[in-house]
Structure 1
Amino acid sequence: MDEGMRKEWPGDLDPKLNYSKGQKPLHEYLRDNARLNPEKVAIIWYGREITYKELDDLSEGFATYLSKSGVKKGEHVALFLSNSPQYFIAHYGIQKIGAVVGPCSPLFKEWELEYQLNDMQAKVIVAVDSVYDVIAKVQSKTKIEQIILTSYSDFLPEKPTLNVPEEFFQPKPVISGVQDMLTVIKGVEALNSVVEVDMEDVSLLIYTSGTTGKPKGAMLTYKNALFKAAAVSQSSSIMAEDVLLTVVPLYHIAGMLLGVNCPIYANASIVLLYRFDPIVVLQAIDLYKCTWWYSVAPMNIAVMQVKNAGVYNFTSLKTCRATSFGITLNQEIAQKWAEFTGGCGLCEGAYGLSETHTADTFMPSKAVKWGTQGIPNYETKMKIIDPETGKERPSGEMGEIVISNPGVFMGYWNKPKETTQTLSNGWVYTGDMGILDEDNYLTFCGRFKEMIKVSGYSVFPEEVEAMLIRYEGIAQVAVTGISDAQKGEVVKAYVVVKPDQRANITAEKIIEWAKQKMAPYKVPRLVEFRESLPATGAGKVLRRLLKEEQ
């Protein structure tokens, strides 16, 4: 940790990062947990309890099957799965043989899946059976030789303890020419897959969300994953006695870090949900006494709006870290959340990106600064530079965020030019604009490429969105720039209205309100109403797609 960071480091946190079981891959942490605490519950899936020993054995069996079927160290294996125990089994099974996990969003359409499978050159895909049709349509255009399918219902208990998604009750399809995941695991004698891996070996190929341009595969190593799991667990106090509620998609880098990696690192227990449902969240917290939840801000709002929420007991929840996708998390929301839960702390989780295994900052729980993303995490150096000259800017001035820490990626898969543009001497040039204040707190201002130039003024979509979301009746909003003959660009807002407010809101009313709240050049010239906004599986709005429609 550099000296400037030490000055403002929270007094209740050890300034030195300590690896609880040493510096080794996270799948070795899983093995250690299974050996030392075999009967401890690792995952609860709608009432089905999977112990650390069972999880380790299942991933060991899957690793053995992959190895026997010809998957070699360094090869990419695609995962086309949403939240499920099978995601953990596949993720750690793949890494146990030194192969590379390649998550694909289960929301992908054919062209998106085809692009990613071809880019990663995967020969094997692990998927849920309900998306088989998507795979079948693109298989002949890819290098996929083997399809391994599973059903989300495979691990359901006889009597679920939580409301189960309706689609889980669909009959399991009979599909020829594919393998069934649990069948192949049961069909092999699981061996302790001792494959020598170096901490600098690539273990994960995570694709950028494509908010600008085509997605690129960021190559992350065993060392990157371990470092971030250790840093987040220590800075955010994730302990073995914690019960983490996991709802955010595991195939997204933040969901993977908080849902797949940190709990295994900490030897904690996970209550795993397939998708977000506010009632099921309340059921889970009440029944399993969850203590820690990583959410997205709209989830917290939705939970607080559940009718008769008072019948549930959620006083066990002590920590909630959230990301401001769609709604800006502020002190007012946090105070309402604390009142609603009986004292649970809620604040911004972190700033980060796929290229650094995310969570490059964290918010000190006893020194929250609203509107910021917190301070640099363990062993993290952060600078704000002039994007034109590369010179470092003083505190309080906006510029490009550049980051260096042990989580920094190896580069983009098969894209040396793009790698050179982003990675230099261990520093990631993020393309994000931000400000570091005198206390080393980072404020994220927006993407440099998404900045709107109105009559020479710089307008970041995030700052306009943060104000517009305060307008009563707006549920969600996104902002882009559109061409204008006189001003170069002007602001356009895309608005999703709360269902009970549709009769009361007009574009004219929003624009007039905005004129009272922000500088004239930031005020939307146009407002378009939408039923929904295009977003990634984790909830990040894809402004790029809105611009492409113009």
Structure 2
Amino acid sequence: MQSLFDQGPFRPCPASFNMAAHVLAHADDLPDKVALSVVGKDGDVWTYAALKAAVLGTATGLRAQGLSAGDIVLMRLGNTVEFPIAYLACIAAGLIPVPTSSQLTEADVTKMIADLSPAAILHDPGVPCPQNPGCPLLETEALHAMRMLPPADFAMGDPDRLAYIIYTSGTSGKPRAVMHAHRAIWARQMMFEGWYGLRQSDRLLHAGAFNWTYTLGTGLMDPWTIGATALIPAQGAPASALPDLLAKHKATIFAAAPGVYRKMLSHAPDIHLPDLRHGLSAGEKLSETIREDWFTATDAALYEAYGMSECSTFISSSPSAPAHTGTLGRPQVGRRIALLGEDGAPVTLGEEGTIAVHKSDPGLMLGYLGAPEDTAEKFAGDWFLTGDRGTMDDEHYITYAGRNDDMMNAGGFRVSPLEVEAALARFPGITAVAATDVEVKADVRLIAAFYTSDHDLDETALKAFAEGTLARYKQPRLFKRLPTLPTNPNGKLSRRALRDQFKAKP
């Protein structure tokens, strides 16, 4: 049998569609229900009616600035409720928002501006951004005032048209702008049963910041789509505070990256959460140790999801289909997933192949902005190639077998080693450099930079240089000088050998 999952296509998206209208569809029948509560010190509470009014008022304000359908709007906002309001407002008005991490440097943003040619930038003064970007800067004070304006009409249209752009690091070392259609939000309904077990009565607490795409989707857009309540910790809340916040606010589902679960367990190995049904994990591989320790501490299961910026999550475990030990889970119903061999055909069950998504998936990207060749390289016939490898068993559960490329995971962010290496190569004295993520202790991975030079270099100076050229999550936490960098039989750098070497000689 072939390594192929296909139980029929997901139900089609309506012909006239707007992603923001879909997300806020329950605002009219649940106007007084709490849509969002920022939990912790000085937390805000937003009803569905207030949220919709703020979104559509902001949409009116953006149009009044001369922005029109199809214009690209770069978002340089902080970890506040302004982020999702502005994001949905842009989409409601037919604009194309580009949400970005506040950790990006001014140099990072300058490159994005050159790629995007945005019509405007939504800017929090505390977030790095060029002061003369060549387009209007709309500051948060102006965005706040827009909330009170009369509501705009939703810009309805073809569900296949461009809705938003997100950035992901590519194997070329240059972050790529991933274009998504309005229909991407429609496809996320496959996660409701296939991963979340989400109900309208749920109170879902996501540990991430407002301006992280994992939070934006799993923590906000999806609960609002079904009419549930989203809970987000107030800015600066440490992992040690999360157990109390979960208990106090009666969270029924908790979502976080594996590292957050690890930190919580280190602070409180026995966590009493009587309202919690289960937890969700994504962003990086969840270890069996964390899964088991969390269940011991809380008596609640963790369900993992695998995905990527180009298609969100599409393989997962769930309350209705718990993962077999050691597996990621199985493809969500409605997806068409295969493990392909070098000939582009599905491999036999049990054989290792490249995890691929059929091009008909409504959640699959439209392509990379301004990079048709890069887009074409990701496809083999009718299949989108993830670059990750795995095996599928006879019940369609997939075991992860590693990456084709050497992408790193840093706290849930995918980071290209080439980008890190390109920055560090400019440091005086370095003759060669390689970056990879290494396991420094059980379930703890960080980015390390291995370099060659005539002598040991000052680590404090190396770290300061990295801080000045790379976003915080891209900065190496470990620097190590080697006589030579390992290579494979073809003479190419072997980052896998570096990881293995580090394990052998910690």
Q: Which of 225, 230, 236 is the matching residue for 2:185?
A: 225
1:145 aligns with 2:103: no
Per the alignment, do residues 95 and 196 of structure 1 end up closer, same or farther by CA in structure 2, a change over 3 Å counting? Answer: same
Q: TM-score, structure 1 length as denominator?
A: 0.71
Alignment partner, residue 322 of structure 1: 281
Contact 2:25–2:225 under 8 Å retained in 1: no
Q: Which of 91, 96, 107 is the matching residue for 2:103?
A: 107
Alignment partner, residue 486 of structure 2: 484
Contact 1:127–1:147 under 8 Å retained in 2: yes
What is the letter of the counterpart of residue 390 of structure 1? G
1:45 aligns with 2:22: no
What is the letter of the counterpart of residue 290 of structure 1? A
Q: Which of 253, 263, 270 is the matching residue for 2:230?
A: 270
Alignment partner, residue 437 of structure 1: 393
What is the letter of the counterpart of residue 183 of structure 1? A
What is the letter of the counterpart of residue 279 of structure 1? S
Per the alignment, do residues 112 and 210 of structure 1 end up closer, same or farther by CA in structure 2, a change over 3 Å counting? Answer: farther
How big is each residue's C-alpha offset from its partner over 1:459-515, in whole Å with a ceiling of 9 and x where there is no partner? xx9xx9898743xxx843558997437965475657xxxxxxxxxxxxxxxxxxxxx
Alignment partner, residue 375 of structure 1: 330
Alignment partner, residue 518 of structure 1: none
How far did 1:217 drift? 1.0
In structure 2, the gaps of 5 or more residues are: 409-416, 418-435, 451-483
In structure 1, the gaps of 5 or more residues are: 8-14, 150-178, 453-460, 495-521, 529-550
How far did 1:243 drift? 0.4
Q: Which of 266, 290, 300 is the matching residue for 1:333?
A: 290
Output the CA distance in 2 between the equivalents of 1:401 and 1:490.
Answer: 21
How far did 1:288 drift? 0.7
Alignment partner, residue 22 of structure 2: 29
Output the CA distance in 1 between the equivalents of 2:316 and 2:71.
Answer: 33
How far did 1:6 drift? 7.2
Alignment partner, residue 54 of structure 1: 50
Question: Number of residue pairs matched?
Answer: 435
1:255 aligns with 2:209: no
1:206 aligns with 2:166: yes
Mapping of residues 62-461 of structure 1, within 5 Å? 62-131=58-127, 134-135=128-129, 138-140=130-132, 142-149=133-140, 180-186=142-148, 189-210=149-170, 212-228=172-188, 230-235=189-194, 236-273=196-233, 274=235, 277-306=238-267, 313-323=272-282, 325=284, 328-330=286-288, 332-341=289-298, 343-347=299-303, 349-356=304-311, 358-365=312-319, 366-387=321-342, 389-404=343-358, 405-423=361-379, 426-450=382-406
Per the alignment, do residues 367 and 112 of structure 1 end up closer, same or farther by CA in structure 2, a change over 3 Å counting? Answer: same
Output the CA distance in 1 between the equivalents of 2:497 and 2:448.
Answer: 6
Contact 1:43–1:270 under 8 Å retained in 2: yes
What is the letter of the counterpart of residue 372 of structure 1? T
Contact 2:17–2:156 under 8 Å retained in 1: no
What is the letter of the counterpart of residue 199 of structure 1? P
| Higher helix fraction (1 or 2) | 1
Per the alignment, do residues 35 and 378 of structure 1 end up closer, same or farther by CA in structure 2, a change over 3 Å counting? Answer: same
Per the alignment, do residues 275 and 221 of structure 1 end up closer, same or farther by CA in structure 2, a change over 3 Å counting? Answer: farther
How big is each residue's C-alpha offset from its partner over 1:386-422, in whole Å with a ceiling of 9 and x where there is no partner? 34x3243212222222112211111111111111111
Output the CA distance in 1 between the equivalents of 2:24 and 2:72.
Answer: 23
Alignment partner, residue 531 of structure 1: none
Per the alignment, do residues 147 and 414 of structure 1 end up closer, same or farther by CA in structure 2, a change over 3 Å counting? Answer: same
Say which structure, 1 or 2, has more relative contact order (CA 8 Å, 6+ apart): 2
How far did 1:433 drift? 2.1
Per the alignment, do residues 419 and 19 of structure 1 end up closer, same or farther by CA in structure 2, a change over 3 Å counting? Answer: closer
What is the letter of the counterpart of residue 484 of structure 1? P
How far did 1:240 drift? 0.8
Contact 2:58–2:147 under 8 Å retained in 1: yes
Output the CA distance in 2 between the equivalents of 1:369 and 1:276.
Answer: 34
Output the CA distance in 1 between the equivalents of 2:401 and 2:448.
Answer: 14
Output the CA distance in 1 between the equivalents of 2:183 and 2:283.
Answer: 28
Output the CA distance in 2 between the equivalents of 1:90 and 1:302.
Answer: 31
- Percent identity, aligned pairs only, is 20
How big is each residue's C-alpha offset from its partner over 1:435-457, in whole Å with a ceiling of 9 and x where there is no partner? 222221222222212299xxxxx
Output the CA distance in 1 between the equivalents of 2:296 and 2:383.
Answer: 42
How far did 1:352 drift? 1.0
Output the CA distance in 2 between the equivalents of 1:265 and 1:317.
Answer: 21
Per the alignment, do residues 445 and 3 of structure 1 end up closer, same or farther by CA in structure 2, a change over 3 Å counting? Answer: closer
Per the alignment, do residues 484 and 339 of structure 1 end up closer, same or farther by CA in structure 2, a change over 3 Å counting? Answer: closer
How big is each residue's C-alpha offset from its partner over 1:203-234, in whole Å with a ceiling of 9 and x where there is no partner? 11011134652111111011112212x11113
Per the alignment, do residues 87 and 446 of structure 1 end up closer, same or farther by CA in structure 2, a change over 3 Å counting? Answer: same
Contact 2:99–2:211 under 8 Å retained in 1: yes
How big is each residue's C-alpha offset from its partner over 1:336-359, in whole Å with a ceiling of 9 and x where there is no partner? 212222x21113x21111111x11
Output the CA distance in 2 between the equivalents of 1:294 and 1:337.
Answer: 13
Structure 1 counterpart SS, 2:274: coil
Q: TM-score, structure 2 length as denominator?
A: 0.77
Output the CA distance in 2 between the equivalents of 1:323 and 1:211.
Answer: 21
Output the CA distance in 2 between the equivalents of 1:111 and 1:266.
Answer: 39
Structure 1 counterpart SS, 2:26: helix
What is the letter of the counterpart of residue 334 of structure 1? R
